[in-house]
Amino acid sequence: MLDKTKDIAVSAQAWLDAFECMLGKPGRETLDRLFVAECFWRDVLALSWNLQTIAGRDAVSRALTALAPKAAPTNFEIAPNRAAPRWVTRAGTNNIEAIFNFETAIGRGSGIVRLVPDSADGERLKAWTLLTALDELKDFEEQLGTSRPRGQAYSRDFRGPNWLDLRNASRDYAERDPAVLVVGGGQAGLAIAARLKQLKVDTLIIDRETRIGDNWRKRYHALTLHNQVQVNHLPYMPFPPNWPTYIPKDKLANWFEAYVDAMELNFWTGTEFEGGAHDDAKGCWTVTLRRADGSKRVMHPRHVVMATGVSGIANVPDIPTLANFKGTLLHSSGYEDGETWTGKRAIVIGTGNSGHDIAQDLCSSGAEVTLVQRSPTLVTNIEPSAQLAYATYNEGTLEDNDLIATSMPTPLAKKTHVMLTEQSQELDRELLDGLRKVGFKLDFGEAGTGWQFKYLTRGGGYYFNVGCSNLIVEGAIELRQFADIESFTAEGAQMKDGSTIAADLIVLSTGYKPQQYLVRKLFGDGVADRVGPVWGFGDGLELRNMYARTRQPGLWFIAGSLAQCRINSKYLALQIKAIEQGILGREMGAT
């Protein structure tokens, strides 16, 4: 049996050896001996072909026993070229964390096991969490590094097409349709297209903007990313080492253009996705695309990947009497630059990141600004508090840190974020007390889980303070509560206390509608009802309908931060490749 006093690597390998041996046995009782009672197994395609988290020793043992015979996992070994097994603290628990490699009948994978002493069994080391994740399909490995493609250097045809001719032909789709159509050319679309390119799956990205990167370039003037550069790389092409810690929007937009060119991604700008219908018998879509010149193209891809973000339709709430306002009314998505409003008066409704940033931009441009709060908002300083969640990315390799992020089951991630939120409240105490004094209503997420889970459940509701909160505390930006507004008038807002807030501009920083609204608009009620909600957790431990097969064959969703897109694009691409090769069924649950 395992002894916690043994060498860490020996103990971890001993557990893996025992695990592999017991997976080959018909009963599950022996597997019970390897896990503590309150354990978690997250499988990312490797054994189940799903993204799933199973909690509790009995449930984990049953699932492993059911899935292992067909998946045939073998050759579990400590990964030789990755972080060595070590004692770490995750979610407040001290444990041995070991990265390992393994194989299945159809692919190769990596994983993480976290071992803790079981006080109920003589302090023997047992698994507290286990991750098994598919990395590649056998016979369909990516051609990278020493396996890079040879190109034309040794097979040149001086009368045939050169590289540029071939790229143009590939991009034009004059006489063919792509296997995969990606709708949206932001980080989500680029990440999944790059992954599919390496797997030799013909993929076309379309975006309605006129230039690659415009989905960032056209945002408000002062925007920069709110997390640090080391977290935000796209697949295969890390940012240069001289890049700033916080990337400006235009710099990122220009990088997107360079990325598309360097990765040889097929991309149509100025192209609107008008909708599509699925032919179940043929296993493909009929979709209509409207080009910049007004022409239309009908295509028949087998897969449509929606990469339009966590949400794609601006949420413009029906606010009674707002139509009375005779000044300029904008949704935050249409706001560009505060300099237009120098010397003017502005009301910004909404206190998430966009609302605060727009209010600060207007104030910095010499506008008189009133920020209106509709609901309690989480506020945390951008440094160091907002960066606590990314602490692991400050050391080790990107590959290891992405696997660590993948390995954390949702309940433990929530526990971690409760701890980080409590820590950030202490770090930000002076700021938060100041905000309370001027009437700002604070919250810290459901059950104190902080900003990350606000993002994962609703896509917003928080602000990373880069100075606007200080301006509110100082009174440079006036704060009012939406509940105190009696009505809107031609000149601005009439308050219940009889005062008036005059305005030339009202900006609605009211977020975006959930993505299922866009699904309903583009694909109809049948598909939207079949798929159901997109994003958030519902009753499960995985994000709903994200990065995995949905109940609508051939329809996929990818969204989130650059890190989320980088990590999960790999798993989405592997599923599409497996379907294209006949390894995986198109229907959910078909393996």
Write down the pLDDT at residue 589.
62
DSSP output for 483-494: GGEEEE-SSEEE
> CA dist 468 to 49, 177, 363, 463, 474, Å?
45, 48, 9, 9, 10
Task: Tell me: pLDDT of 425 over 60.
Answer: yes
Write down the pLDDT at residue 5.
43
Task: Tell me: pLDDT of 130 over 70.
Answer: yes
Q: What is the pTM of this model?
A: 0.94
Q: Per the omega criterion (within 30 degrees of 0), is the bond before 384 cis?
A: yes
Domains belonging to the chain, first-starting first, are 8-137 (3.10.450.50), 167-312+516-530+559-580 (3.50.50.60), 316-510 (3.50.50.60)
How far apart CA 28 and CA 264 sit, in angstroms, is: 48
As a dihedral over the C-alpha atoms of residue 191, residue 197, residue 199, residue 203, rounded to 10 degrees, the angle is 90
What percentage of the chain carries pLDDT values higher than 70?
Answer: 96
Contact 353, 236 (CB under 8 A): no
Quick one: pLDDT band at residue 219, thresholds 50, 70, 90? confident
- The 8-class DSSP code of residue 240 comes to P
How far apart CA 406 and CA 392 sit, in angstroms, is: 13
- H/E run at residue 346: strand 345-349
Quick one: pLDDT band at residue 220, thresholds 50, 70, 90? confident
pLDDT averaged over the chain?
94
Write down the pLDDT at residue 367.
97
Write down the pLDDT at residue 223.
86
Task: Tell me: pLDDT of 101 over 60.
Answer: yes
Pairing status of strand 35-44 against strand 124-137:
parallel
How far apart CA 286 and CA 564 sit, in angstroms, is: 29
The residue with tokens 């997107």 is: 256
Write down the pLDDT at residue 4.
45
Write down the pLDDT at residue 146.
73
How far apart CA 368 and CA 362 sit, in angstroms, is: 8
DSSP E strands, 84-216: 86-90, 93-103, 107-118, 124-137, 180-183, 203-206
Q: Residue 189's Cα: distance from chain center in Å?
A: 11
Write down the pLDDT at residue 312.
67
DSSP 3-state of 454: helix
Write down the pLDDT at residue 591.
59
Contact 496, 484 (CB under 8 A): yes
How far apart CA 262 and CA 240 sit, in angstroms, is: 14
Q: Per the omega criterion (within 30 degrees of 0), is the bond before 409 cis?
A: no
Question: What is the per-residue pLDDT across 543-561, written as a single tens digit (0 to 9) for each?
Answer: 999 999 999 999 999 999 9
Q: What's the Rg (C-alpha) of the chain?
A: 26
Task: Tell me: pLDDT of 454 over 80.
Answer: yes
What percentage of the chain carries pLDDT values higher than 90?
Answer: 87
In terms of Cα–Cα distance, which of 421, 415, 442 is closest to 351? 442
- H/E run at residue 304: strand 303-306
- H/E run at residue 291: none
Write down the pLDDT at residue 540.
87
Contact 354, 510 (CB under 8 A): no
In terms of Cα–Cα distance, which of 222, 300, 294, 209 is closest to 260? 209
Q: In sequence order, what are the residues at sequence separation of 6 or more whose Cβ sits closer than 8 angstroms to the Cβ of residue 180?
A: 193, 196, 201, 202, 203, 204, 301, 302, 303, 304, 305, 576
Write down the pLDDT at residue 309.
80
How far apart CA 101 and CA 109 sit, in angstroms, is: 6
Q: Output phi, psi for 549, to 5 deg.
A: -60, 145
Residue 195, both tokens: 């992954």
Contact 192, 558 (CB under 8 A): yes
**Total H helices, total E strands in the chain:** 16, 27
In this structure, of 27-36, 147-156, 295-304, 451-460, the range with the lowest mean pLDDT score is 147-156
In this structure, of 133-147, 167-181, 471-485, the range with the lowest mean pLDDT score is 133-147
Span 246-274, average pLDDT: 97
Q: Output phi, psi for 362, to 5 deg.
A: -65, -45
SS3 labels along 535-557: CCCCCCCCCCCCCCCCCCCCEEE
Write down the pLDDT at residue 586.
80
Write down the pLDDT at residue 27.
63
List the beta bridge partners of residue 43: 52, 132
Contact 411, 40 (CB under 8 A): yes
